[in-house]
Amino acid sequence: MQKIEHIGLAVKDLSVSIPLFEKLLNTFCYKTEKVESEQVNTAFFQVGETKLELLESTQAGGTIDKYIERRGEGIHHIAFEVADIEAEMKRLQSEGFILLNDQPKQGADNKLVCFLHPKSSNGVLVELCQEKK
């Protein structure tokens, strides 16, 4: 793995959280994007080499909504950048980690992504991401 590409934060309402994080980080949100496949609206902030990705459910009862119901707003996942996502998926699977998707899928910010089940990684939801070429 090459670096922490971004940290995903679950929020209830982007219209509240975007200005909050703009104040906190003293920088502007440079991009918002809806990811249909994940039922989320995302908002990105650049912090040095790493990004923060705010995640809001696009519909009641979506994954992020359920997460917030159980655990409240806060850190949702850590995303690691990898050079070859398919090779990394195979490696992790052979080490006993549980992949939440068999094939890389389209994520936000022009990435191919794959998530690992948190029960195989100490309760941490891990995302692998590879820049689409």
CB 56 within 8 A of CB 38: no
CB-nearest residue to Zn ion: 8
Nearer to Zn ion, 48 or 94 (CB): 48
104 binding Zn ion? (CB under 5 A): no
79 binding Zn ion? (CB under 5 A): yes
DSSP characters over 88-110: HHHHHHHTTPPBS-SS-EE-STT
Footprint of Zn ion on 39-58 (CB under 5 A): 53
Q: What are phi and psi of 2, to 5 degrees?
A: -95, -40
Rounded to a whole number of angstroms, the minimum distance from the CB of residue 101 to Zn ion is 13
Rounded to a whole number of angstroms, the minimum distance from the CB of residue 42 to Zn ion is 8
DSSP characters over 2-39: -EEEEEEEE-S-HHHHHHHHHHHHTS---EEEEEGGGT
Rounded to a whole number of angstroms, the minimum distance from the CB of residue 7 to Zn ion is 8
8 binding Zn ion? (CB under 5 A): yes
Q: How many residues bind Zn ion (CB under 5 A)?
A: 4
Rounded to a whole number of angstroms, the minimum distance from the CB of residue 130 to Zn ion is 12
- Name the residues that contact Zn ion, by CB under 5 A: 8, 53, 79, 127
